[in-house]
Structure 1
C-alpha cells in the first residue's frame, strides 16, 4: 500500500505524513500503545515496570499492616474488619477465635518480612542494572562513563521554574536584537577559503539514504512529526522516494517549515531547578531532516566524500 501513496507524494511533508500514518496503522494493528498528542512522543517513566509492581506490593502491604494494627488496638470499623478478613483469606480464621491477637501479630510480622524482602529485591536489581549499564558504557564510551561517575546525580523532580520567568529569560536570549561585531578572523577565514576547490553538485542516491538510516539509532528522540528511524528501516520502499525528494529540495534550496520546527526540552544542570538559567535546552528535530543532514555531512559514498572533506576543512579553519 505504501508504494501507491508514496508515488503520489508531492513533497517531503506529504511523505512524512504518509510514513507517520503507516507507523500508526501498524501500531494499532498489533495493539501497541502510542502517544499521538501533538504528533510528539511523550517521555516514558524512568522507573521500570518491574520496580513499579514491587513498590505497589510494598505499599499495599504497609497499608494492610496499619489496618491490622488498628484492629488489634480495638478499632472495629467495617473497613478495618474487611481488611482483616482479606488478610486472612483462604485460612480457617475467625474473629471470635481466642488466639486472635497472636494470629494478628504473626500476620503483621509476615507482612513486614515480605516488605523487607521486596525492598532488598529492588536494591539488588537496581545495583545489578547499574553495574550492567556501566559495563556496557565502558565498552562503548569510556569518557562518558567517567564523567557520569564524577558528576553528581541531578534530579529534575523538584519544583519547575515560573513560566513567566522562563519566557522572559529565553526571550532575552532569542528575541532581542543584538549587534555583533565581526572580528578579523572572518577575513582570515575568507582568505584561506579562496584556495578551496568548489565541491561538485550534491547527488543523493537511495544507497546514501539506506546507509544513513541503517546507521541511525532506532528510537532516538523524534521531532514534531513523532516518527522514529525504526519505521524508516522497516518501510524500505520509502528510501527511493526520500532520495528523490531530498535531491529536489537541495536543487530548489528550500525545505518545508516542518523540518526547521523543533521541540525543545529543558534539562536541569544542577539542583537549582527553579532558576531558568540553570536549564540546558535540548532540541529535537524531525527524523527525516536528521537523515538528510547525516547524508550531507557523512562520507557514505564516493560522491559524498568530497563534500564531507570540504566540511571538515571549513570546521578546522573555524576552530583555529
Structure 2
C-alpha cells in the first residue's frame, strides 16, 4: 500500500495541475525538482519571490513575517484578518518576539505552525560542522590521509597511478615538486603533532569548564563522576524480604536512653534564662528565602514535583504560605503524603551483592516537606542567634562559620609547635 510520505509534494502537485492543466504529464518529483532549481540556481530575483509570497499570503489569509534575509510563512488559524507585514526596520526584534509570545503562549503544540524543514546542503553541513567545532578533527583526518598516501609511495612496490597522482597533488600543496618525499612526510607529521596537541588542549579546557559548571550545580554529581561506578547489572541483588528483615532489626528495636544524664541537666540550667519562642506565622518572604537557595531539579518525592515549579509558579506562594502556617500550628492537619518518601538502596561496593548490609538507603521526601523544614530551621536559628544560645566554641552546624578551616589551622599550629619543641 502506498503511503503519503511527502504531503508538501502532493499539495504542490495538485495546486500546479489546477492552475496549469498543461502539466498533467508531470510527476510530483518533476515539480519538486523544478522548484528546487529555481531556488538553488537563483533563477528568480529575491524581489520577485517576495512579491509572489505576499500574493499567496493574501489569497490564503496567511500572516507573513519578514525576517532579516528570509521570509517565514505562518498559518493564521486563530483570526481571519488580512495579511500583516512585520518589517524589522519598522519594528524592533524585541517587539516582534513579544508579539509572538503573546500569540502562541499557552497554545497547544499541535496547533502551532510547523517548523520548516532544514534543507540539507553544503552550507547547512558547514554550519553544523562549525557549531560542533570539528575544524581541528577535519585537519587531523586530512593530514593522516595524506601521510598514508606518502607512506604508500615509499614502499618497495610501485604505487598505483591513482596514489601517485594524489601524492603529486599533496607535494604541490605543501611546497615545490622538487622536494623529497621524506621531507614532506616529516613536515606533515610535525603539522599533525601540532594539531593533535592543540585539540588535546581544547578538549582539556572544555572538560574543565564542564566540570566547573557541574561542581557549581551539583557537587555530589561531580564527585561521583570522579570515580565512576563499575556496577554490573548482572550481579546478584538482595531479595526484598531480606532487606526488610535487615532494616527491621535496626529501626524496630527500642532503646531506653538515660534522660537524667548530667550533661542534660547542665544544658537545662544554661537555657533557663532564655525566653520561649513565640508562635510563628509563615509568610511569603519565608518561602522566597528558602526557594532562593533550593536547587531546581533536586530529586523529588512520590509527588514528583521539583523545586523548579515552586519557584516559577509565584502565584501560588501566598496560598502555600497559609497552608504551611496551618500545618505549623496544627501538625495533625498535615496530609499523609507529606512525610512519605521513596527509598533507594545504593551499593557500598563496586558491584551488587546479596548482602543487604552492603547498601545505604537514601529517602527522597516531597520537596514541599523540605521547604517547610527549611523555613522552620531558619526561624529556629534566628531565635537561637538572637538569644546567644550557641556557644562561642561551636563551629559545626553554625552559619557563616568556617569551622573546618579553623580546625585545620589549629591542627597546623599544634603540629608545628610539637615539631619545634620535640614534643612526642
Q: TM-score, normalised by structure 2?
A: 0.39
Whose relative contact order is higher, 1 or 2, with alpha carbons under 8 Å and at least 6 apart? 1
